[in-house]
Amino acid sequence: MIENIDLPSLNYKIALSYITNPFFFVGSLGHVGILRVYDVDVQDYAIPSEAKTPDYTKFHVAYIFGKSRPWIKLGGGVKTKEGFLNGPSYSALGLSYKGKTLDEDNGFEIILSTGNNERTRIVFNVNEKLGVWNRLNGFSFSDLVEHMVNAHLVPALERLSDTRSL
């Protein structure tokens, strides 16, 4: 699944100034929690306060999905799936972040690029393998990524074009 979203009112340079910060990016997605950052010295992930030489482009994360229904004891509720997030990285296409689940069955790439007149465009691609765990838990990685982009990232970026929100 590949989707393109144009944000005509958002200047690319303004968007880039925020989205290059992986903590802003993760916070704006709403469904990703950073658990650990890659420590170059030990060649493994560590909590940020303990990393000697942190690489702030490689993260061990939790993808958060589901609906919070505290009154339902069985089934439903919020669930997590561990994985990784890499970025920002730069290419001719623009700035990108790539994520995948720990089992590597699900992955995505979100690219922030520029179109005509320095307008901002978001392109995202999702790869999903429907396994038994996904079916039993009602987990759709493509739905999750589409929701993160359309319902969280786009509104956060659109607020950047409104100087009153800064």
pLDDT per residue as tens digits for the range 62-76: 999 876 555 545 556
Predicted pLDDT at 162: 60
Q: Are 36 and 46 in contact (CB under 8 A)?
A: yes
Predicted pLDDT at 2: 80
Q: How many CB atoms lie within 10 A of CB 97?
A: 23
Predicted pLDDT at 166: 46
Predicted pLDDT at 149: 95
Predicted pLDDT at 164: 44
Predicted pLDDT at 152: 94
Model confidence, pTM: 0.87
Domains of the chain: 2-163 (3.30.530.20)
- Per DSSP, the three-state class of 49 is coil
Residues of the chain where predicted confidence (pLDDT) is lower than 50? 72, 164-166
Predicted pLDDT at 115: 67
Rounded to an integer, what distance in angstroms lies between the CA atom of residue 61 and that of residue 56? 13
User: Phi and psi of 29, rounded to 5°?
Assistant: -70, -30
Predicted pLDDT at 129: 82
First to last CA, the chain: 33
